[in-house]
């Protein structure tokens, strides 16, 4: 039964993508209004097709911003993409992937060469330009995906984009660029708590091959994901890019732990600030 389910879902995924790819390509080429909303609607369709129920907590920042989220699986893409029109920041290798690379380009993904630090400033400026033009960009600061049971250290390099202000077109003034931490937790499988045993079946990390992992995840059944929007901040509020990365890491870790354990930590500002200082020192 699981193999049949996987086959049906994979066929629906691939066929729908091939049908919509030329439509999106035309929309991007001629700058048509629907091209910004189509990926969002497609991700909603994928969540419905795969059987992903997304439960949200907190409030998403309404304006253009940089979203910093923890990263567990390729499923993070349709999950986050289904919530609001947005684009992603991804490693440069993704651009060369068959099929998935094409989809990423059609969603106007910003590709970053992580090994070449000299390109960081260039990509920072590209990210800034996109946010200044009204986009929401989703960044996974861990730089890789985890097993879904923890949050890895957040890298601060691209957080330097928050040092640049954005122009508010309505009032012709410059505002601080906003960064919002978002935690993503894989919670239930077929209505039952997923737990440490089953969460790695959906987490894509290490040297896992994508298509076998995709097939296995599709065969298992519907899942429930909890997404929490945390307090948005600016670099002026926290001090510098390393402190900003540390703040986002603390918030995402708190959100993940709260979701997985059912125990929510008290929102103590001084305690969070102390954790930020400690993480910033560890980062050097």
Q: Determine the pLDDT at residue 116.
A: 64
> What are the backbone dihedrals phi and psi of residue 264, each rounded to the nearest 5 degrees, phi first?
-95, 125
Quote the domain boundaries for residue 272: 2-282
How confident is the model over 197-238, as pLDDT tens digits? 788 778 776 667 777 777 888 888 899 999 999 999 999 999
Lowest-confidence segment of 2-11, 42-51, 74-83 by average pLDDT:
2-11
> What are the backbone dihedrals phi and psi of residue 232, each rounded to the nearest 5 degrees, phi first?
-70, 150
For 126-135, which contacts have Cβ atoms below 8 Å and span 24 or more sequence positions? 127/66, 127/89, 127/158, 127/161, 128/161, 128/164, 128/166, 128/177, 130/87, 131/64, 131/65, 131/66, 131/161, 131/166, 131/177, 132/64, 132/166, 132/167, 133/64, 134/64, 135/64, 135/86, 135/87, 135/108
Here the tokens at position 77 are: 């893409």
**Residue 282 pLDDT more than 70?**
no
Residues of the chain above pLDDT 70, percent: 87
* Average pLDDT of the chain, as a whole number: 88
The total number of structural domains in the chain stands at: 1
How far is residue 204's CA from residue 210's CA, in Å, rounded to a whole number?
8
Q: Determine the pLDDT at residue 118.
A: 64
pTM of the full structure: 0.90
Q: Determine the pLDDT at residue 277.
A: 59
Compute the average pLDDT of residues 79-95: 95
Residue 68 sits in a domain whose CATH number is 3.40.1130
DSSP 141-164: TTSS---SSS-PPPP-GGGGGGGS
How confident is the model over 116-166, as pLDDT tens digits? 666 777 889 999 999 999 999 999 999 888 888 899 999 998 998 999 888
Compute the average pLDDT of residues 258-269: 71
Q: Determine the pLDDT at residue 110.
A: 95
8-state DSSP, 230: P
> What are the backbone dihedrals phi and psi of residue 245, each rounded to the nearest 5 degrees, phi first?
-60, -40
């Amino acid at each position: 039964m699981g193999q049949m389910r996987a086959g049906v879902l994979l066929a629906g995924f691939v066929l729908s993508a091939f049908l919509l790819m030329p439509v999106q390509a035309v929309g991007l080429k001629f700058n048509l209004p629907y091209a910004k909303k189509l990926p969002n609607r497609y991700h909603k369709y994928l969540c419905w097709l795969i059987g992903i129920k997304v439960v949200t907590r907190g409030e998403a920042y309404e304006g253009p911003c940089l979203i910093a989220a923890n990263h567990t699986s390729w499923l993070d893409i349709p999950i986050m993409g289904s919530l609001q029109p947005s684009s992603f920041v991804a490693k440069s290798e993704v651009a060369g992937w068959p099929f998935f690379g094409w989809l990423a380009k059609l969603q106007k993904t910003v590709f970053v060469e992580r090994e070449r630090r000299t390109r960081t400033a260039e990509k920072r400026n590209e990210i800034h330009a996109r946010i200044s033009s009204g986009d929401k960009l989703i960044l996974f600061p861990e730089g890789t995906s985890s097993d879904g049971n923890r949050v890895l250290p957040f890298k601060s390099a691209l957080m330097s984009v928050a040092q640049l202000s954005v122009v508010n077109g309505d009032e012709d003034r410059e505002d601080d660029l906003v960064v919002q931490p978002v935690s993503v937790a894989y919670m239930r499988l077929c209505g039952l708590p997923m737990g440490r045993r089953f969460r790695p079946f959906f987490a894509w990390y290490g040297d896992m091959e994508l298509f076998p992992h995709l097939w296995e995840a599709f065969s298992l059944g519907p899942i429930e994901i909890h997404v929490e929007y945390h307090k948005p901040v600016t670099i002026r509020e926290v001090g510098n890019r390393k402190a900003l990365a540390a703040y986002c890491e603390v918030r995402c870790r708190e959100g993940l732990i709260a979701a997985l354990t059912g125990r929510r930590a008290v929102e103590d500002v001084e305690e969070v600030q102390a954790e930020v200082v400690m993480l910033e020192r560890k980062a050097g």
